[in-house]
Amino acid sequence: MMELLWEENDMEAYLQSSDIIDFEDENIKHIASILLKDTYTDVDLAEKVYCFVRDKIKHSVDIQGTIVTCNASEVLKQQQGSCFAKAHLLAAILRYLKIPTGFCYQGFQMNDNIVLHGLNAVYLKSIGKWIRLDARGNKPNVNAEFSIIKEKLAFKIRDDIGESDSPVIYAKPDSNVIEALRKYETINELLQRLPSKLSIDSKGI
């Protein structure tokens, strides 16, 4: 498994709220409290939250949705989002529950172009390591799972056709991603203009 690299050395950076990771929203706090009930380890809690976001929050493309969501609270309210948006919600819930969570990116081919795909990295104190989780949502030929042993992500990276996998765990969502999510009003517009690379000041892709 690829060695993951921290963007920030301070773990507190992976616990912060923001206008995008807005975990002070009452609905996020409410769902977090429900998921916390009868859960006693950080591993079990992370898996429970991950499965909720992966399965209960739908990928907008899969359901032929039209709206573009960005902020975690908006994703929860609308019950849908892109891979990036779902990663924002997963981070918000886990950060509210004091589980450090960051953002990771891959470059994969779609319609003959390389575009970004967003996922998360989560630090589990009880096992002393980061694991990557992909809450995109499963469908035929996509089967991402929670695993603390071997990554089971949505897509297998194909180096031979120019796909890439950044090892960096970012504390904040990439600015190119946020710009796209805020700029385009419909999923069709977003799909035509998905970001192809991380912002100029980012490491990795």
What domains are there in the chain, each with its CATH number?
A: 5-192 (3.10.620)
Q: Are 173 and 103 in contact (CB under 8 A)?
A: yes
83-96 helix and 26-36 helix, angle to the nearest 10 degrees: 70
121: exposed, middle or buried (Cβ count in 10 Å: 0-12, 13-18, 19+): buried
Helix ranges (DSSP H) in the chain: 26-36, 42-56, 72-78, 83-96, 175-183, 187-192
Share of the chain above pLDDT 90, in %: 95
Query: Rounded distance, CA 166 to CA 173, Å?
Result: 14
Residues of the chain with pLDDT under 70: 200-205
Q: Number of helices (H) and strands (E) in the chain: give both, helices first.
A: 6, 8
Q: Are 85 and 69 in contact (CB under 8 A)?
A: yes
Whole-prediction pTM:
0.96
Report the pLDDT value the prediction gives residue 205, as an integer from 0 to 100: 61
Residue 204 neighbours by CB under 8 Å, 6+ apart = 105, 164, 166, 167, 168, 198
Report the pLDDT value the prediction gives residue 74, as an integer from 0 to 100: 98
Query: Rounded distance, CA 200 to CA 24, Å?
Result: 30
